[in-house]
Each structure stands twice: as C-alpha cells, then as structure tokens.
A and B are shown apart, each in its own frame.
Chain A
Amino acid sequence: MSTLQLTLLVLFGVFPLLYLRSPKRPKLAWSYLRGLLLTLACIAVLSPFVWLVAAAFKDRSVMNEYTFFPPLDKWSSETMNLKNFRRLFAGEMSVKGMVYYWQYLLNSALYTTVSTVLQLFFSSLAGYALSKYDFRGKRVLMAFMIGSTMIPGVLLLAPIYKMFVDFGLIDSVPGLLLTGAVSAYGIFLFRQAIVSVPNEIIDAGRIDGCSEFGIYFRLVMPLVKPMSAAFCMFVFLAQWNAFFAPNIFLQSQNNLTAPIAVRSYIGIYQAEYGVFLAGTLLAIIPPAILFFALQKEFVSGLSAGAVKG
C-alpha cells in the first residue's frame, strides 16, 4: 500500500469515528467530511501550479528525479537554478533579427492593455447611451445587439481574414486590436449597471452646465467603478490568453504574443521542457496579480450575469 493510499484511508477513516462518537449530533462529522473533500479538491487544483514553479527552476538533470521540489538537503545550484530562464531569454533568430521572450511578453501586455482600454471606453459609452436616453431606433438596435451575441465569433473570422488580406492589414497590430475593440456583451453589462444610477444625478449635472459627455465621464463612470473593474478583468484575461485571432492575423516574429510563442517553443525545446514551462510560469503571473487585486469585484461581476436571470 502506498503512502498516498494510507494517508487518504486515515483521513477518511476519521469521519466514521467522529460520526459514531455522537450519532445524534453529526454536525461536526459532516463539517469534517466537507472540509476534507474541499481540501482534497483544492490540492488537486493547486498541485499543477506547485509543480510548474518547481519545474521552471529545476535543473534539466534532475527534472524527472523529483516530482515537485528536491528535498532541502539536495537543494543547490546543481539542482535548482535559473538556467531555464536564461535559455528562454537567450533569444531566437527570426527574419527581422533576434527576438527575445520578453518581446512577446511586452507585446501581450501592450495589446491587452490597449484593447482593455478600448473595450472599457466604447462599451461603457454605448451602454450609457442605451440606459439613460430614449431615442429613435433604440429598440431596433437593442434587438440587433441581442441577436448578434448569438453568432459564434468563429464564423466571422474567415471573412475578416479575407477582408484583412484585401486591405493589406494582415500582420497589422492596430487592425487586430480593432477587431476586439467593442462587444455587445460588454455594452449590455454596462447598460445594466448604469440603469440603476439615479436620474437626479444626471439632471443635476445638466443644470450645472455639464456636457453630455462630461456627465458620462465625470458623474456616471465613477459610480459604476466595481462593474468597470470586473469588466476590465474579463477583457484582460480573454485578451492575454487569446490565441486563435492573433495566431491568424499576426505573422512577423516580433509581433507575436506570449501564448503563440510558448506554443512554438514546445517543438523547439522538446527535450528541455523546463524552458517553455518557465515561459508559461512568467506568462501566468500578470493575470494572477491582477486577479488577486480585483478578485472581489471579479467574482461578483462574474455571477452578476447569471444569477439575476
């Protein structure tokens, strides 16, 4: 019997013991079982991350020797070092000269930031127009937007690709960024959030001589900050990890993003997988930081879409 089996047997064995000790009030026993199951689920979820950190720093020679980290007494620059990262940043030849991994990270950061800002601005602006104004054509527009969310993006990619080829926009970063600059879904999210902003605030702004844009920018937007934070997080995650569209639209080596680069490294560094695992580790740090900073808004924003349905 392995240690793992034994540990699990002992942990689960505690439950009937607790249960039998006070069968009339089994609350503690059930609490224990719930806690145990959830802890095991968390361990299952977290262990690949721990393994990833270990693998990024482990030397190639001991990669398969230890499942996670080497034991502390074996810990030295022979077993744990930065060689994987050094290899990763050493750069590779491309048509336009050397490209380094930090270039891909930088590209990802740039594209993600720009499209997050664009989406935040365009979606909230349109959401504001749809929630606080009554104007001709509004109903038709809303119906159209609902319909448009039903069409899978994958259907549109081929014609957009063709259009980009026709207009010579392939490999153009601004072109790629514009394809993801606004979404009907984002507009609906903002419309919902802004509907609950009191009209009095807007009226007061108008009386004080604020322009319509000023009302949106200075009065309404600060009031929907939590929603904006959640939305930014959504867009950031989606864009940072985006692969399909950038993979089709971008071509030259020094325009590529981190996911595309890491994937191409699988083939290049087949025998030294520590290298692309180090790249993966670096690529998941930025969203992780942002997520932990904004997690409260994010989780509430995530559920906002569904629960009210």
Chain B
Amino acid sequence: MQGVVDLQSPAEAVEPEEARRRPAAPPRRFYKGKAPYVFLVPYLLLTSVFFIYPFLRAVTLAFYQTNGPRSKVFVGFENFTFLFHDARFHSALGNTVTYTLCSIFLQLPLALALAMLLNSGTSKLEVRLKGFFRLILFSPNLVGPIFVGVMFGVLLTPRYGLLNRTLHALVGWGLEQRWVDDPQLVMPALVLVSLWLYVGFNMVYFLAALQSVDKELEQAARMDGANAWQVFWHVTLPAIRHVVVFVVILSTVGSFNLFELPLALLNSTNGFGPDDSGLTVITYLNEVAYRQGDLGLGSAVGWIVAILIMVFSFVQFRVARVAENE
C-alpha cells in the first residue's frame, strides 16, 4: 500500500513490447497441481484484507458522516455537496491543479532538456561523464519529501537562506523574500523545491527513452534538411511518446498526492500555508479525516481525487492515441 504507491505504472502498456523483445519461454502447459495457487496465497490474503475490503468500505464510507472512527451517521450525498460548496476544498483543488500544471509544463520540459543535453554528447569524455551526471541529478530522490521540506524550510529563510542569497547575487532580488509566509510566494516555492527534487527522476526516464531512439532516423531527417527543432518535433518526440505519456501520468498522480512536502515546508501553518495558499487536496483529506476525525468526509475527498486521477490518465491515453493516428 504505502510501498511503491508512487511508482505505479500502467503495467499493461508495458507488456506487449516486452513479449516481442524477449522471444524466450512461452507460458507453460496447463498446470494441474496446487503450487501456483499456494504461491499466490500471500498476495490473495493481503489483497483481500488491505485492498478489496477497504475498497468496498470506501464506497459506503463516503456516504456516512463519522465522528471519530466509532460513531457514524448515514448522510447520503451530503459529503459531496458539502465539498462542492466548501471554499477551502476549492482552494485546495485549485492549488493542486496549479501545482500539477507546473509539474507537467515546467518540470517535464526541463527534465527532457537535461536528458537531451546528456544524450547528445558524442565525445569520449561526455560519454564517460554521462553516468556521473545522471547519478548526481538523480540523487535528490534519495531524500524523502519530509526531509526535503525540512531542509528547504531553512534554505528559504529571508536574508540567510541559501536560495535567497543566491537569488540576490544572481538577479539582485529575493534576499528578504519570506517564501513560506507570503501567500503569493508559497506556490512558487513548492514548485521550485519539487523541481529540485523530481527533475532528475523524470530525466532518468527520458534519458532511457532517448537512448533507444534510432540515431539513423534522426540523421536521415537532418540530411533531408530538417533543422534541430524539426528533428526534435517530428522524429525524436514521436519516438519517445510512450515514455512521455507514462511520465506525464506518473507526474500527475504524484502531483495529486502532494502532501508531505508542504507539510514539512509549511510546518508553522500545519502545511496549509498563509491563507491556505499551500493547501492541497491530500492535506485537506488528512485534516478532515485524521485530525478532525470525519473518515466519511475523508473518503469522499479520496473518491474525488481517485476519479480525477483516473479521468486524467484516461484522457492522456486517448490524446496519445489520437496523436498516434494522425
């Protein structure tokens, strides 16, 4: 559950190509013994207790109002109507969407640019340094979002923070900016920190995809007189489109689950930020479900998040398919 949640991949998209690439071993003849069932017992047991049952409960729970885990009252759709009218939930949703858009349109292009920088080096030295650069750029991912939030809470302090000092030396602005206390600056701060944290992670995916692009195809396009931008837009990007879709979906799911980073970064305001400027849907869920004890309302929020994620992923797949057919 809490295991590899953020590494979830659309596994079925991965399979057919896999089967083509490795010709080995077709599945075995029908097996009559008990062995495969026995091997699946731990999964089946755990998944019934920690997936199927909670999933069914989540369906009903969303229609109840609970006060602490023990008392509950059936309220029908009231949890949902409440959320539709709750200004705080609206701002939480707005912040989450803003953050998601920044991840997709700011962070991913940068990750792709870095991957292309790494991949386009042809000299011996550059090829040798590739692994080293990749390792360094990936390294922030070893640090959990809580620790990152704790660190950057100090890095962003006015006058003394490393970022404030660097900005001041670079562009002459920002020395006295109170990132986590200024409603205008909370979102930029979150985006900036997540850029530091995740850009290398996405870069690794893009780099792996770029490495499998046929170099001759790009060369042929160049010979035919395509400029660098045309080669990128018409050859490279279509060749890595599957990975792009995968990474966009991964980023969306990750962005919708944003919780720990603001919680630690905006610790003085319980992760909400001044005027709720850093409030995300999961922070909201955590607040109503576990701090105020209304698990029913929390489930309703969970459902809205789940549905938004699924709709968005579906649209992504669709868009990718349409683009492919053109």
Q: Please, which residues of chain B bring their CB within 8 A of the CB of A221?
A: none
Given known A-B contacts A239-B3, A309-B242, A134 and B27 have beta carbons under 8 A apart:
yes
- Other than A178-B50, A259-B146, give 14 A-B pairs with Cβ distance below 8 A: A27-B123, A134-B27, A134-B28, A135-B37, A157-B302, A158-B302, A160-B54, A240-B144, A262-B150, A280-B143, A305-B9, A305-B246, A306-B247, A307-B205
Q: Please, which residues of chain B bring their CB within 8 A of the CB of A212?
A: 33, 35, 39
Assess the B120–A34 pair: CB atoms within 8 A.
yes
Q: Could you tell me the distance in whole angstroms from the C-beta of B263 to the nearest C-beta in chain A?
A: 7
A163 within 8 A of B: yes
B92 within 8 A of A: no
Could you say which of A48, A51, A198, A308 has the most chain B C-beta atoms within 10 Å of its C-beta?
A: A308
Assess the A38–B118 pair: CB atoms within 8 A.
yes
User: Measured between alpha carbons, how far is A176 from B31 in the docked complex, in Å?
Assistant: 35
Nearest residue in A to B43 (C-beta to C-beta)?
A126
Given known A-B contacts A133-B36, A238-B7, A41 and B70 have beta carbons under 8 A apart:
no
A residues neighboring B (CB under 8 Å): 2-5, 8, 27, 31, 34-35, 37-38, 41-42, 44-49, 51-52, 55, 63-64, 67, 115, 119, 121-123, 125-126, 128-135, 138, 141, 145-146, 148-163, 165-166, 178-188, 192, 195-199, 202, 212-213, 216, 234-235, 237-246, 248, 259-260, 262-263, 266-267, 273, 276-277, 280, 283-284, 287-288, 291, 295, 299, 302-303, 305-309
Could you say which of B13, B35, B61 has the most chain A C-beta atoms within 10 Å of its C-beta?
A: B35
B114 within 8 A of A: yes
User: Measured between alpha carbons, how far is A55 from B46 in the docked complex, in Å?
Assistant: 44
Assess the B117–A34 pair: CB atoms within 8 A.
yes
Given known A-B contacts A185-B7, A307-B208, A163 and B282 have beta carbons under 8 A apart:
no
Assess the B146–A243 pair: CB atoms within 8 A.
yes
Q: Please, which residues of chain A bring their CB within 8 A of the CB of B146?
A: 241, 243, 259-260, 262-263
Assess the A163–B54 pair: CB atoms within 8 A.
yes
User: Measured between alpha carbons, how far is A130 from B8 in the docked complex, in Å?
Assistant: 19
| A-contacting residues, B101-136, CB 8 Å | 114, 117-118, 120-121, 123, 125-126, 129, 133-136
Q: Could you tell me the distance in whole angstroms from the C-beta of A7 to the nearest C-beta in chain B?
A: 10
B285 within 8 A of A: yes
Q: Please, which residues of chain A bring their CB within 8 A of the CB of B264?
A: 263, 266
7 interchain residue pairs of minimum CB distance: A241-B144, A303-B208, A159-B57, A159-B54, A129-B39, A212-B35, A155-B302
Partner of A150, one of B123, B282, B310: B310
Given known A-B contacts A192-B15, A309-B13, A165 and B55 have beta carbons under 8 A apart:
no
Q: Please, which residues of chain A bring their CB within 8 A of the CB of B6?
A: 238
Q: List 22 A-B contacts (CB under 8 A).
A: A38-B117, A115-B3, A125-B42, A126-B42, A132-B28, A135-B31, A146-B12, A152-B309, A153-B5, A154-B306, A155-B302, A157-B1, A157-B54, A158-B58, A234-B7, A235-B3, A243-B144, A259-B260, A266-B264, A273-B154, A276-B150, A280-B147
Can you list, as one digit per residue, whether each of B24-40 has a CB less than 8 Å from chain A (1) or not (0)?
11111111010111011
Partner of A152, one of B18, B120, B267, B302: B302
Q: Please, which residues of chain A bring their CB within 8 A of the CB of B69?
A: 161-162, 165-166
Partner of A129, one of B22, B40, B209: B40
User: Measured between alpha carbons, how far is A287 from B15 in the docked complex, in Å?
Assistant: 30
Q: Could you tell me the distance in whole angstroms from the C-beta of A197 to the nearest C-beta in chain B?
A: 7
Nearest residue in B to A215 (C-beta to C-beta)?
B35
Q: Could you tell me the distance in whole angstroms from the C-beta of A218 to the nearest C-beta in chain B?
A: 15
User: Measured between alpha carbons, how far is A197 from B27 in the docked complex, in Å?
Assistant: 11
Interchain Cβ contacts within 8 Å, total number: 360
Assess the B46–A244 pair: CB atoms within 8 A.
no
Q: Could you tell me the distance in whole angstroms from the C-beta of B238 to the nearest C-beta in chain A?
A: 14
Given known A-B contacts A135-B30, A299-B134, A162 and B2 have beta carbons under 8 A apart:
no
Assess the A150–B18 pair: CB atoms within 8 A.
no
Chain B interface residue count: which class? 35 or more
Q: Please, which residues of chain A bring their CB within 8 A of the CB of B155?
A: 48, 51
Could you say which of B70, B150, B155 has the most chain A C-beta atoms within 10 Å of its C-beta?
A: B150
B200 within 8 A of A: yes
B162 within 8 A of A: yes
Q: Please, which residues of chain A bring their CB within 8 A of the CB of B285?
A: 154
Assess the A161–B133 pair: CB atoms within 8 A.
no
Given known A-B contacts A160-B50, A234-B7, A299-B204, A155 and B299 have beta carbons under 8 A apart:
yes
Assess the B25–A199 pair: CB atoms within 8 A.
yes
Nearest residue in B to A203 (C-beta to C-beta)?
B28
Partner of A181, one of B14, B27, B46, B61: B46
Nearest residue in A to B313 (C-beta to C-beta)?
A150
Assess the B169–A2 pair: CB atoms within 8 A.
yes
Assess the A38–B114 pair: CB atoms within 8 A.
yes
Q: Please, which residues of chain A bring their CB within 8 A of the CB of B309?
A: 152
Given known A-B contacts A125-B42, A212-B35, A153 and B2 have beta carbons under 8 A apart:
yes
Can you list, as one digit per residue, whether each of B271-286 has a CB less than 8 Å from chain A (1) or not (0)?
0000000000010011
Q: Could you tell me the distance in whole angstroms from the C-beta of B241 to the nearest C-beta in chain A?
A: 10
Assess the B162–A67 pair: CB atoms within 8 A.
yes
Assess the A266–B310 pair: CB atoms within 8 A.
no
Q: Please, which residues of chain B bring their CB within 8 A of the CB of A234?
A: 4, 7
B139 within 8 A of A: yes
Q: Please, which residues of chain B bring their CB within 8 A of the CB of A128?
A: 39
Given known A-B contacts A45-B136, A135-B36, A262-B146, A64 and B160 have beta carbons under 8 A apart:
yes
Given known A-B contacts A45-B139, A180-B2, A299-B138, A308 and B21 have beta carbons under 8 A apart:
yes
Partner of A154, one of B123, B138, B204, B302: B302
